[in-house]
Structure 1
């Protein structure tokens, strides 16, 4: 495929292969953007920002509404493309397309609701005869850098709000999964988006990402990815608005009064979806020691029954990791934990980019599989003495994106909600849950700012105060 730059689909001699992780085959190639391409994109985006700002909120709504309709019409093609380049099962891919459609739809609705407020200026001492109000205006040029694991919905979470807010956008999708993003751009243009409202550059983040983020013409950056890369972007950004959706090693606490059937279902759903390649995947299972053994007896057979294989086959429940190198890393982390005293209850075997769903028992806080972000199909289990111990273990991390607890005790649930240092709190479900309209973002090293169309638009616009003197 070609990338879309400055109002034209363009090719380059230097190209990047897009690999199907399930079989190692090349699906397609995309151009490798250069520093000159970034400069062209920035110039076009400045012009595009002026065009977008002139569109009424209703016109922006119409474009996004039509895009959502086109996503429905192209659902199966988008899903198969997504599945082939990322390794997500076809069922997961269809769900992602449906979620992305909703994200674009929600963004379009919010385009009609951008508003300011009337200011009570006469509440100031000695103030009279003044009328004050605020206006919400576009930032201008937005840069969006997206990851491989949700290559359509996370693109939609950045592109939809940016356009709804009246901005132009430069999109840099992950090099492993650019195809579905490029197909999405085609749908936006078919829906009537101004030609310079968006540019999409494919290529190395180190080559083009830093140049985009450091340029003063970019007024807002939205990034989803690792904490290490996010920190580099923040250093390069200078004085501009940033939203950082970064990593996590999300905990799930299980107290003695938990419904174990619900716990088992939540661990399987939260720990192994998309082969564990989800920022809010349940990585740390913290279980009260009084019912640890019973839960493991119920949980292990469910994990062992997960069907892994060709992601395009309807019966497959878990596909490969996006790269074989990531599968090698996950395998090595599991083996390292076992060498340090952990016990492998099931899974953990690697075959190419596939890693069988793993459950690792008797883990300790200093093990890499607990302390860092695994981002793979493995759940690390630790024992807790009581709720005090469990909350301490949940907070014993530099991350804070999402956390869950199972308990029927309202006091324990409220205490968990107040004391656990996480941006998203789930009671009686796992940490891997999100509906696309909710505010979503992390604490500590898990990031800055919020996503969800309504909240992202607030971060992609500016507020101006107007005072009329009479």
Structure 2
């Protein structure tokens, strides 16, 4: 049976206090290509949310007392089960997210890797340190020690574009850190998170340690405002994220809010087919619905014409199409309204003098790849996050000014720089106002153990297993007077 033929169940329970449950209220989930209903998921109500929160609070001590080997066993069970579920999980990603087959398969592998990295991290973490307190005569004979302890119950809100792996980047470190959690998945793609919950329910996690609750955004506001939570972790739009932070109260907040990532290409770079394919994949894979999608391509004037020709030639061959095909790079956008929003941005840019180098059709949620140049930098398509299959080509003359152009963005997640000059690599690292500088690759590069996050409007804090675990823990000091 192929991935596309794999049967997907119709109804999915939510998980409250570690147990499958149904409320009698349902959210219908559409196949993003066919627009047909392929599943229903149980919706949480206010009582369900309250039960989940209180259960997480009640589970704090049991979670904190889990030994490293116990947490590792839980995480490794997930690794094993997700490996057995590869075909089913791939089919779900294709259906509920419109994710092209190869990208869906890759995300399932990243899900498995993320839980494996967390399982490894549990037994490799530095659990504390000695502090030299006798820095004055008054402190003579005192010794200080610090250990890391779980912060407590946490709330997690995951996005639609990587509904398996970005959910894993919240759940796996929470388990490793010893924190009970309540997670709200994106309403457009909730099934993936519920499949993770299904596997968690098979483990020895303490009763009540986790809940996964599809629910409307307004009902989930308690996950933001309730002071019983010690941390809120949100991945999504910058507008929503900063509003959440303003209302989150005393809890710690971590935000991954996207950007409009740029790549800069120096003239010492070989204009190979591999480079062109990499740029195209970074811009148009999964219809550009990636936080670090290649949105701005800055090319040195000496190679601009040649690179532009190569890009145009290849992009013209790409059409938005059925994500079940292993030949599809660009599938549907998440919903037709998003395609309409992006089309308005493109049309506005064209009216302001932008040149369309490659243009395709827009039909429903299917949006063919577009390449623009001469775009007014004050427009949304340039300064905001396109989150769709649009890339902008621009010319630069001076390397330092090119770096400054990248920095003019209000975002700062990741940036790519192609150069063979060590000095320019170091200049980029020292001067780019971003969370990650990627040398000789696109800004879309990410592996699941690296610190990942941004500055400015791109967010606050870092994901990546070790970094996330630290955010979910706090230091506790012990002082001992000798003698």
**TM class, shorter-chain normalised?**
over 0.9
Corresponding residue to 1:70 among 64, 75, 81: 81
Residues in 2 aligned to 1:135 and 1:348: alpha-carbon distance in whole angstroms: 57
The answer for the alignment partner of 1:355 in structure 2 is 367
Residues in 1 aligned to 2:84 and 2:24: alpha-carbon distance in whole angstroms: 33
Q: Retained in 1: the 8 A contact 2:319–2:369? A: no
Residues in 2 aligned to 1:275 and 1:125: alpha-carbon distance in whole angstroms: 64
Residues in 2 aligned to 1:149 and 1:131: alpha-carbon distance in whole angstroms: 49
The answer for the alignment partner of 1:321 in structure 2 is 333
SS in 1 for 2:128: coil
Q: Retained in 2: the 8 A contact 1:225–1:247? A: yes
* Correspondence list, 1:361-372, <5 A: 361-372=373-384
Deviations 1:41-66 (A, max 9, x none): 11111112222112111101110011
The answer for the alignment partner of 2:473 in structure 1 is 461
Residues in 2 aligned to 1:425 and 1:345: alpha-carbon distance in whole angstroms: 28
Are residue 119 (structure 1) and residue 115 (structure 2) matched?
no
* Correspondence list, 1:137-286, <5 A: 137-208=149-220, 210-261=221-272, 262-286=274-298
Q: Retained in 2: the 8 A contact 1:334–1:348? A: no
Structure 2 gaps of 5+ residues are 1-11
Residues in 2 aligned to 1:312 and 1:422: alpha-carbon distance in whole angstroms: 35
After TM superposition, the score normalised by the length of structure 1 is 0.97
SS in 1 for 2:175: helix
The answer for the alignment partner of 1:19 in structure 2 is 30
Q: Retained in 1: the 8 A contact 2:29–2:96? A: yes
The answer for the alignment partner of 1:416 in structure 2 is 428
1:294 Cα shift?
Answer: 1.0
Residues in 1 aligned to 2:159 and 2:18: alpha-carbon distance in whole angstroms: 24
SS in 1 for 2:208: helix
Residues in 1 aligned to 2:13 and 2:250: alpha-carbon distance in whole angstroms: 33
Corresponding residue to 2:358 among 346, 358, 365: 346
The answer for the alignment partner of 2:18 in structure 1 is 7
Over the aligned positions, Cα root-mean-square deviation in angstroms equals: 1.4
Q: Segments of 4+ in structure 1 off by > 3 A? A: 123-126
The answer for the alignment partner of 2:44 in structure 1 is 33
Corresponding residue to 1:405 among 399, 407, 417: 417
Residues in 2 aligned to 1:419 and 1:260: alpha-carbon distance in whole angstroms: 25
The answer for the alignment partner of 1:94 in structure 2 is 105
Single out whichever of 25-34 and 375-384 deviates more from structure 2: 25-34
Equivalent pairs counted in the alignment come to 469
The answer for the alignment partner of 2:447 in structure 1 is 435
Deviations 1:94-138 (A, max 9, x none): 110111111111112222234011112233444232222111111
